[in-house]
Copies of this chain bind each other. A is one copy, B any other.
């Protein structure tokens, strides 16, 4: 099965997830700047972080599927599992915002990030297995340093919120989540390189 419709469907779902999060921003009841800061300030920050995360996943998904020509049923379901995890972002983001960075919502947000990372890893593994021994995706992914570091950071964030707690623990957790986002915003040049090599071979 060719990949174009799977890509179109994933693009649609990601476009909707990234956009409907704005519906979670609460419009201030007053009309002063302080009302905006008080009502929507935290919401804007959490929205920005989740927007960047969905953007990262779209970007990586986009890169990954450039090395995929055929998809099996297993890839379809692994892809849907990833989309399911990402579709929970509007919900977990809204809870972090509503609770103003309380411990449990931040932990759940971290678990959501961790779940998405695992689903992405599973998708990647299913594709590599399907492509067989000379998988171009396996070659492109290589040591996958970022992919291995991300869950470590998520777990560190979750644990610091759980074990340390309070302003400090939650702040550390958020710092971990922001750090992973910054790490990924730098685009992945390995796949670009492999794609160029394969195009040269063609």
Contacts and interface: CB of A to CB of B under 8 A. Distances in A.
A16 B12 contact: yes
Interface string A123-148: 00000000000000000000000000
A27 B98 contact: yes
Interface of A is mostly: helix
Given A36-B104, A99-B31, A15 B16 contact: yes
Interface residues of A, number: 63
A85 to B, nearest CB: 11
Interface in A77-93: 77, 80, 83-84, 87-88, 90-91
Q: How many copies does the complex hold?
A: 4
A94 interface: yes
A41 interface: no
Contacts of A27: 91, 94-95, 98
A87 to B, nearest CB: 5
A175 interface: no
Leading 9 A-B pairs by shortest Cβ distance: A73-B187, A12-B15, A31-B102, A31-B99, A16-B19, A55-B80, A13-B15, A25-B91, A27-B94
14 contacts: A1-B195, A5-B62, A8-B11, A9-B14, A9-B58, A9-B62, A15-B15, A16-B20, A22-B91, A23-B90, A36-B95, A48-B84, A51-B87, A55-B80
